[in-house]
Amino acid sequence: MPAVERTGARGSSRSIAFAVLVAALGYFVDIYDLILFLIVRVKSLRGLGIPKEQILDKGVLLLNMQMIGMLAGGILWGVLGDKRGRVSVLFGSIFLYSVANIANGFVHGVADYAVLRLLAGIGLAGELGAGVTLVSEIMSRERRGWGTTVIAAIGLLGAVVASLVGAEFDWRVAYFVGGALGLGLLLLRVGLYESGMFEGVKQKDVERGNFFRLFSHGPSLRRYLSIILVGMPIWFTLSILVGLSPEMAKAMGMTAAVDPGRAVLFFYVGASSGDFGSGFLSQMLRSRKKVLALFLFLTASGIVVYFTWGRSSLTALYACCGALGAATGYWAVFVTVASEQFGTNLRATATTTVPNFVRGAVVPMTFVFQSLKGPLGTVGSAASVAAATLVVAAIALFGLDETFGRDLDFVEADAPASARAGEVL
C-alpha cells in the first residue's frame, strides 16, 4: 500500500475534550427528543382533541414520520458531512431540530404535527454520526474509544431528563425545553474546529460522500450491512420488549399495570451504565469484537430472564428492563466500529446512516412481530423475532474485522491512487 502524506495534526487536549463534550450533549438532545415523543404522545394527541379510539393510529403515524425523517436525514447529513465537513453538519442539524421542536409546541392539528416530527427527525439524524466521526478523527487511535464511550454514556442520560420533563410539565413546554437545549448547544458549537483528517482529504482528488458507493462495491456493502445487523438487537429490545411492556406483561399473565414510561426510564439508566462498561472493556481488552460478542451474549441472557423471571412481579419486570438496557449498552462500541470501518471520504456517510438505519429497522421487526402474533402468540412471536435478530447479529459480527487501534487516515479503495491518504481497504 502506498505511503502518502498524512492529513493534519490532531487538536490539543483542550480542544479534543471540548469536541467530546459538545458531541455528547448533541447525542443527549437526540435521545431527549426520541424518548420525549414516546412519553408525551398520548397527552399531546388528547390535547389536540383526537378521539380516544384514534390515538394509537395517529401516534403510529407521527412515529413513522419521525423515523422516515431520521432515515432521510441520516443520508442527507452523512453525505454533507463528507462533502462539506463534520462541523457544518453539527451546526445545520441542531439548528433544524431546534426550530422544528419549538414549532412542535405550537401545533394545533395532526397534519402540522406530522410535518414537524418529520423535520425534527431529519434534524436529529446528523447528531450522533457527525459527532462520533469528528471525535474519532481528532483523537489518537488508542484512545478514541474513550471519547465515543463518553458521548454515548452522557447522551443516553437524555432519556432520563426526557422522562422527568415529559412527566412533570405540559407537553408543549417539554418541546420548548428540547428546542431551547438545541439552541444552547448551537451557541456552544461556535468553538469547534474541523477534523484535520477531513481537511487533508478535502484538498485531494478524492470522491467524497458517495452514498451509493456503499452498495455498489462488494466489500463496502458487506461491512455496511454487517454493522447494521449487529446493532439491530438493541432496538428490537427497546421497541418491543420495553416499549410494548404493558402488552408483553399482559401476555405473560401479569395483572399489574405496567407504566411504559418507567420501563423506558429503567432501560436507559441501564443503557448508560452499559455503554460506559462496554467502552471501558473495549479499551482494556483492546478489542471491539470481543466486547460486542460479550454484550450480544448478555442481551440473549437478559431476554431469557425477561420471559421467565420478569413475569413474576412488576418490580421484576422493571428490573429486567434495566438489565436489558445494560446488556444492550454496546451502542458506543457499535457506533465506534461503524466509524472505523470506512475511509475518510465515506466515514461520515457511513457513521451517520448506520445508527439511523438500525433505528429504521424497527419497522420491519415490528411488522414480523405483528405477523407472527396470530400463530405464535405475543410471547412466542417476540421470542422468535429476538432469536432471529440475535443469530443474524452474531453471524454479521463474525464477518467484521477487528478495528481497535486502526489508523483512520485512509480513503476507500476506488479513490485515485494519487489521493490516497494512508491505508486502503
Q: Assign residue 22 the CATH number of its domain.
A: 1.20.1250.20
Question: What does the pLDDT average to over 211-219?
Answer: 86
Higher per-residue pLDDT: 384 or 195: 384
Same domain, 47 and 96: yes
Same domain, 221 and 85: no
**Torsional class of 89: left (φ above 0), alpha (ψ -120 to 50), beta (otherwise):** alpha
In whole angstroms, what is the distance from residue 22 CA to residue 187 CA?
10
Same domain, 281 and 384: yes
Higher per-residue pLDDT: 215 or 318: 318
Same domain, 173 and 288: no
Same domain, 296 and 154: no
At 413 the pLDDT is 63
Question: What does the pLDDT average to over 351-371?
Answer: 89
Same domain, 234 and 175: no
Condensed to tens digits (0 to 9), the pLDDT of residues 172-208 reads 999 999 999 999 998 888 888 888 888 888 888 788 8
Of 209, 340, 325, the closest CA to residue 271 belongs to 325
In whole angstroms, what is the distance from residue 348 CA to residue 79 CA?
7
| Main-chain phi, psi angles of 63, to 5 degrees | -65, -45
In whole angstroms, what is the distance from residue 67 CA to residue 28 CA?
18
Same domain, 60 and 132: yes
DSSP assigned state of 402: P
Question: What does the pLDDT average to over 64-83?
Answer: 90
Helix and strand element counts for the chain (H, E)? 18, 0
Same domain, 78 and 157: yes
At 11 the pLDDT is 55
In this prediction the pTM is 0.86
Tally the domains of the chain. 2
Range of the domain at 112: 11-194
DSSP string, 328-383: T--HHHHHHHHHHTS-TTTHHHHHHHHHHHHHHTHHHHHHHHHHHHHHHHHHHHHH
Indicate the residue among 194, 222, 237 that finishes a domain: 194
Condensed to tens digits (0 to 9), the pLDDT of residues 123-175 reads 989 888 899 999 999 998 888 999 988 998 888 889 889 988 988 899 999 99
